[in-house]
Structure 1
Amino acid sequence: MASTTATAIQSSRPLPKDFSAQQPETIRLYPLSNYTFGTKETQPEEDPSVVARLKRLEEHYDLHGMRRTCEGVLVCHEHNHPHVLMLQIANAFFKLPGDYLPFDEDEIEGFKKRLNERLAPVGSQFSGEGVNEDWEIGDTLAQWWRPNFETFMYPFLPGHVTRPKECKKLYFITLPKKSQFQSFRPPHAARIPRMPFSSSGLWKVLSVPKNMKLLAVPLFELYDNTARYGPQLSAIPHLLSRYNFEFVDENDNVVAVTPGTPLPADQIPRTKVLAGGDDGQDTGMTDVGEGENGNGGQ
């Protein structure tokens, strides 16, 4: 890795001394083009309003204490720039894949089930023993606390709060590389040109409910953009800044590392709609319009 980094930043000027002490492990990101995204049946929201959601939180707290919520920061790259996969609901509300855990569920296993509910395709071939092993849950990136039965959450627990109502944890999840066995196709996927596998070898497909959109949002779009994405999602670039990345092409070759180089004007990343939407049309990889305002999940 050291030699690759040296090559990437080499210029006519002398190379600076090493500046990588106490760094976490370098993360390898795979290109968005490695993956295929689909849709599945609609998943209606459990609560018709914010008031109803907070009421259900209060009922949970009375019965089981603090609610635990887990969400995943799924990262890949486009044009050698990290992109985060997130859901958009009603062209306005953004959230990460995941949800609250049942009170008696193990944290990691329960989180994997929640990820499967949101993103795994429907069908017996994707259920049963071992399906949850598909997700590689990485570091805890952040913890957000809800002190009271209200929408505000904080990245710290206020000193006067001894009984928080909810704790939300964000985990770093890198998408697996595509299968090396491209010629294999299960019968139900004869018309699908490319499908990703996990490192465990399971058939891995990301499918989003029809009433949602799955977006790939570049980090620079999230950065300092609380007006559109809210404080939790707009903080993700800060959370990921502790890592160095190496960017891999479709042939598994490292093509760039951080620190990187400026992109050509025709390769500036934009938010992409990968799948979903309730208009019944195939949105493919079209850009999200600037007018679709919203904010991040609270």
Structure 2
Amino acid sequence: MRVPRESVGPDEAPEMEFGASTGPKIETGREGPPIQHLQFARQLLESTAATSLSFSVSRRILKLFFSTPSSSLNSSSINDSASLSVSLLVCSRGCSIVGKCKATLPCTIAQRGGGGGGGGDQSRVLDIYPLSSYYFGSKDALAFKEETLADRVNRMKSHYAAHGLRTCVGAVIVVELFRHPHLLLLQVRNSTFKLPGGRLRPGESDVEGLKRKLTSKLSADGAGDETQWEVGECLGMWWRPDFETLPYPYLPPNVKKPKECTKLFLVKLPVSRKFIVPKNLKLLAVPLCQIHENLKTYGPVIAGVPQLLSKFSFNIIDS
């Protein structure tokens, strides 16, 4: 731990001695902190690293403790400060660890929230399976409208005039290939890349609409397996301020009436599944290292997916 000391002038430079086994020693000419301070600091830092005690709380405790005069230090004050640091540990159920736990089972380190109030590490582990575990087939082509950019803008304006804000959903589906996570993307006309998903119907919920789109583009016709898609948390939202600009990962403060909102959801795959793709679409597995910040090829939404997934630890499960 770094302890503040008085500044030393050029004529009062500390002497440095090198011992055979103890390493460099710096003598400053002033007394260092009492050994009780250093013992408690070490104890507090060890408890912080081993548990979920916030480092900001630890710093406040140490600042208060080191401001105490050494003459007033005793074993009782050290024990009281140590008890204070332990009592600040709180489990995910809101009970003090040194008190009575509200749960029937004792609290564990994995169950305690971190300094930011988050959950344990288990909730941030994403199981992914090899690409070879899945079957891929084809079905009849989907009907796509041949339209220019001007036609698309006019269509969005007509939709906005009739229904207001347009909401789109996209599925983030990750598989393993060559021991690296890959993202499943749909390629349209051998040029445009899209996440599986699409536009919601007026009044349709995000999850149900995404399941409908996944079944339409990745399942056999009439399979009726909408409930088999495990739609997880929303990873991010993108906003289109007007009809022609690219989407932003935030809503600009000067925009009061955005024209489109795109929501990305994590979709977890089972150990095996059949993907039935329309003939005029290509389902590709693209490595995250190739997608990362590659705006020119994949656009801002897809290029930002690796950053959204950075909070997860990938657990590759070999089948």
TM range (shorter): 0.5 to 0.7
Change (3 A) 1:154 1:47: farther
Is 1:216 the equivalent of 2:216?
Answer: no
2:207 paired residue among 98, 105, 108: 108
Secondary structure of the residue aligned to 2:124 is coil
Change (3 A) 1:69 1:247: same
Is 1:90 the equivalent of 2:189?
Answer: yes
Q: CA deviation at 1:165?
A: 0.6
> Normalization by structure 2: what TM-score?
0.61
1:163 paired residue among 250, 257, 261: 257
Q: CA deviation at 1:47?
A: 4.9
Name the amino acid aligned to 1:134: Q
Higher relative contact order (CA 8 A, sep 6+): 1
> Normalization by structure 1: what TM-score?
0.65
1:233 paired residue among 293, 297, 302: 302
In 2, the alpha carbon distance for the partners of 1:37 and 1:132 equals: 18
Structure 2 portions without partners, runs of 5+? 1-48, 53-109
Give the greater-gyration-radius structure (CA).
Answer: 2
Aligned residues between the structures: 204
Percent identical: 40
More helix by share: 2
In 2, the alpha carbon distance for the partners of 1:206 and 1:32 equals: 11
Secondary structure of the residue aligned to 2:145 is coil
The answer to whether the 8 A contact 1:226-1:234 is kept is: yes
Q: Which residue of 2 aligns with 1:4?
A: none
The answer to whether the 8 A contact 1:141-1:170 is kept is: yes
Q: CA deviation at 1:149?
A: 1.2
Give the superposed CA RMSD.
1.7
Is 1:99 the equivalent of 2:99?
Answer: no
The answer to whether the 8 A contact 1:76-1:174 is kept is: no
In 2, the alpha carbon distance for the partners of 1:209 and 1:162 equals: 38
The answer to whether the 8 A contact 2:129-2:318 is kept is: yes
1:261-280 alignment to 2 at 5 Å? none
Q: Which residue of 1 aligns with 2:318?
A: 249
The answer to whether the 8 A contact 1:76-1:84 is kept is: yes
Name the amino acid aligned to 2:188: I
Q: Which residue of 2 aligns with 1:145?
A: 239
Q: CA deviation at 1:56?
A: 1.3
1:135 paired residue among 229, 238, 244: 229
Secondary structure of the residue aligned to 1:150 is coil
